[in-house]
Amino acid sequence: MDHFKQLLTDQLPVLMRLALALTGEQSSADDLLQDCVERALRNCEQWDARKKLKPWLFAIMRNLYIDNYRRLDVSKHTIPMEFTDELSSLPSQETHVTTHDVYKALMQLPLEHREVLLLVGLEEMDYKETSQILNIPLGTVMSRLHRARKQLRDQLFAAELQNTAKVD
């Protein structure tokens, strides 16, 4: 059990990032993370130690999110500081798409597209792991990822046009 607790503790920053990305709000992310950790500890004997822990934890978090947190109105959310603090340098003047635009576009994606994009793009999961976490076929992962990237690109292009119009 102590070994499991240490492995779980090591995953807390990654789990918090996913919780923030799913809920879009710090207090809800804190609640989601707490629920996820509680469920993982309560059901640790169900984890197959021959497999990676992160996909198992992500599946728990996703299921909890779907069960409890999906009703959140994402239009009322602010950008968590954790997202804005990760910029390594200030964007150039030519950059018209802001962190807020990216976050807003991400939160407007349908949940099934946002999940795939976050797991593959942010958490660097491979398609097979993503397929297992979301309990969907591999082909569905690829098609949702394609649609999510296209929708995000389209929304960011529209935001850039809108921001450029404001500057002019």
Question: Residues 57-66: what's their mean pLDDT?
Answer: 91
- Does residue 164 share a domain with residue 92? yes
Q: Do 44 and 96 have their domain in common?
A: no
Who contacts 145 (Cβ-Cβ below 8 Å, separation ≥6)?
113, 116, 117, 120, 127
pLDDT of the residue at 84? 45
Question: CA 15: distance to chain centroid?
Answer: 9
Q: Quote the number of domains for the chain.
A: 2
Which CATH number does the domain housing residue 68 bear? Answer: 1.10.1740.10
Task: With cut-offs at 50, 70 and 90, classify the pLDDT of residue 16.
Answer: very high
Calculate the average pLDDT of the chain.
82
The stretch 15-23 carries a mean pLDDT of: 88
Q: What is the mean pLDDT of residues 145-152?
A: 94
Percent of the chain with pLDDT over 70: 79
The answer to whether residue 26 sits within a structural domain is yes
Residue 82 placed within a domain: no
- The answer to whether residue 79 sits within a structural domain is no
Does residue 81 have a pLDDT over 60?
no
Q: Does the residue 96 lie in any domain?
A: yes
Identify the CATH number of the domain in which residue 108 sits: 1.10.10.10
> What string of DSSP letters covers 6-44?
HHHHHTHHHHHHHHHHHH-SHHHHHHHHHHHHHHHHHTG
Residue located via tokens 């602010």: 78
Percent of the chain exceeding pLDDT 90 equals 43
Residue 167 and residue 101 share a domain: yes
Residue 8 and residue 58 in one domain: yes
67 exposure class (CB count in 10 Å sphere: 0-12, 13-18, 19+): exposed
Per-residue pLDDT at 24: 80
Residue ranges making up the domain that contains 104: 87-168
- Tell me what pLDDT residue 165 has: 67
Instruction: Report the C-alpha gap between 55 and 42 in whole angstroms.
Output: 17
Does one domain contain both 111 and 47?
no
94: pLDDT strictly greater than 50: no
Does residue 15 lie within any of the structural domains? Answer: yes
More confident residue, 94 or 63: 63
Is a pLDDT exceeding 50 seen at residue 136?
Answer: yes
Query: CA 148, CA 16: separation in Å to the nearest integer?
Result: 22
Whether pTM > 0.75 for this model: the answer is no
